[in-house]
Amino acid sequence: MTKALPPLTWFRAFEAAARRLSFTAAAEEIGMTQSAVSQHVKSLENRLGVALFIRQARSLMLTDDGRKLMPQVASALETLTAAARTFEMGPTQNLLTVATSVSVAQWIIAPRLADFTARHPEVRLRFLSTIWPDDFHSVRADVEIPFGSHKQFGRDATLLEPNGLLALKSPDLVGALHTLPLIEAVGTSAGWASWQEGGDENLTPHIFVDSFGAALNMAIYGNGVALVSESLAHSAIALGQLVLAHSKIAPCLEGYYVRVNEKNKTAVKFRDWLLD
Q: Where in the chain is the domain with CATH 3.40.190.10?
A: 95-159+255-275, 165-251
pLDDT average, residue stretch 203-215: 88
Fold of 165-251: D-Maltodextrin-Binding Protein; domain 2 (3.40.190)
pLDDT value at 201 more than 70: no
Span 182-186, mean pLDDT?
A: 90
Q: Where are the beta strands (DSSP E) in the chain?
A: 53-55, 60-62, 95-100, 124-129, 143-145, 147-149, 158-159, 165-169, 182-185, 207-209, 225-229, 243-244, 254-260
- In angstroms, the CA 270 to CA 276 distance is 10
The mean per-residue pLDDT over the stretch 10-14 comes to 93
Fold of 95-159+255-275: D-Maltodextrin-Binding Protein; domain 2 (3.40.190)
In tens, the pLDDT along 38-56 reads 999 999 999 999 999 999 8
What does CATH list as the number for 8-84? 1.10.10.10
DSSP 3-state assignment of 144?
Answer: strand
Q: What is the pTM of this model?
A: 0.65
Task: Give the pLDDT band (50/70/90) at residue 1.
Answer: very low
Q: Which of 11-15, 70-74, 191-195 has the lowest mean pLDDT?
A: 191-195
Contact 45, 10 (CB under 8 A): no
- For CATH 1.10.10.10, the residue range(s) in the chain are 8-84
Q: Are 15 and 81 in contact (CB under 8 A)?
A: no
